[in-house]
Structure 1
Amino acid sequence: MRRFALLLGGPLLATEALKERLRGYRLLAADSGGRHALALGLTPELWLGDFDSSPPWLQEALSAPKEVLPREKDLTDGEALLRKALELGAEEVLLLGALGGRLDHTLVHLELAFLLAQKGVRVELTDGLTRAFPLLPGLHAFPLRPGTPFSLLPFPEATLGVEGARWDLPPTALKATSRTLENEALGPIRVRLEAGRALLYLF
């Protein structure tokens, strides 16, 4: 499987566990996401962007092949990097630095994650501490440890159910609700999405 980890510009907790996990991924960075490569002690095979948010010290410190984009364009550096990963045949994408920070960027990353999922690409978003998974109709199994907290968010509406949680839920039509926030896994959970889109958020 062609697995790519994309370093975006949002917050990222660079832990040893994350660094170890990235051994199985091809690493690419978008503009200021390059600072995460330094924190992780890793060198991306490609560093792409217009570099308007990468100060000179960062560009000097990170030795990675660059692809410079024009500043005036109709997409973010992160979206351009996603397109590049798809061109390279990505089948699984880990979006690092995709959550938190600027709300507008976070929302765009979530929408892009759903577009990837619709193309059949496995996708996860993380800030190194929390994780998010876009869910489309079907049955989804997650091997969570007992006690793992999670939320299920209709995005923006969904008919979904969950088993294996402290508060199981039969398939229910949901929209603009807090009913599925702050649940707890008893072990592996199963999410059945009958219609719409949803987001599984682990924290």
Structure 2
Amino acid sequence: MKRLALLLGGPLLTTEALKERLSGYRLLAADSGARHALALGLPLELWLGDFDSSPPWLREALPAPKETLPREKDQTDGEALVRRALELGAEEALLLGALGGRLDHTLAHLELAFHLAERGVRVELTDGLTQAFPLLLGPHAFPLAKGRSFSLLPFPEATLALEGARWNLPPTPLKATTLTLENQALGPIRVWVEGGRAVLYLF
């Protein structure tokens, strides 16, 4: 399986567990997301962007093949990186630094995650502490530990059903709701997306 880790500009908690997990992943970075490669101590295969948010010291400290994009463009550096991942035939994508920080960037990263998922790529977003998974139509199973906290969010609206949680849910049309926030797994959970799309957020 072709596994790519895409380093984006949001915050990232770098842990030994994350470093171990990245074994077998190819690392690509968008602009300031490359700083995470330094913190992880792992080599970059590609560093792409207009470099408007990468300070000179970072460009000097990090040896990596660079691809410079124009500053005047109709896509973000993160979007350009996602498109490159698809060109490289990604089958699994781990978006690091994709959550937290600026809200507009987080929402954009979620949209990019759906773009990948719609093309058959298995996608996870993380800040090193929390995780998010885009959910398209159909059933989804997650082997969560008992007591794991999660929220199930329509994005922006969906018909959802849930089993295996403290608060299960029959098929229910949802949008802009707090009904599915702060749930707990009793073990593995099962989610059905019967309309629209959703996000599973683990914290």
TM-score normalized by the length of structure 1:
0.98
2:106 aligned partner: 106
Cα distance, 1:98 vs. partner? Answer: 0.6
Deviation string, structure 1 residues 92-132 (Cα, Å, up to 9, x no partner): 11100011111111111111111111111111110000000
1:1-203 equivalence runs, <5 A:
1-203=1-203
C-alpha displacement of 1:50: 0.8
State the alpha-carbon separation in 2 of the partners of residues 79 and 175 from structure 1.
26
SS in 1 for 2:185: strand
Q: CA deviation at 1:176?
A: 1.0
Letter in 2 for 1:27: L
Runs (5+) with no aligned partner, structure 1 = none
- Equivalenced residue count is 203
Unmatched tracts of structure 2, length 5 or more: none
User: 1-side partners of 2:72 and 2:187: how far apart?
Assistant: 48
3-state SS in 2 of match to 1:179: coil
Letter in 2 for 1:100: G
Q: Which stretches of structure 1, 4 residues or more, deviate above 3 A after TM superposition? A: none
Identity %: 82
Q: Secondary structure at the match of 2:63?
A: coil
Matches of 2:200 and 2:163, distance apart in 1: 13
Deviation at 1:181, TM superposition (A): 0.2
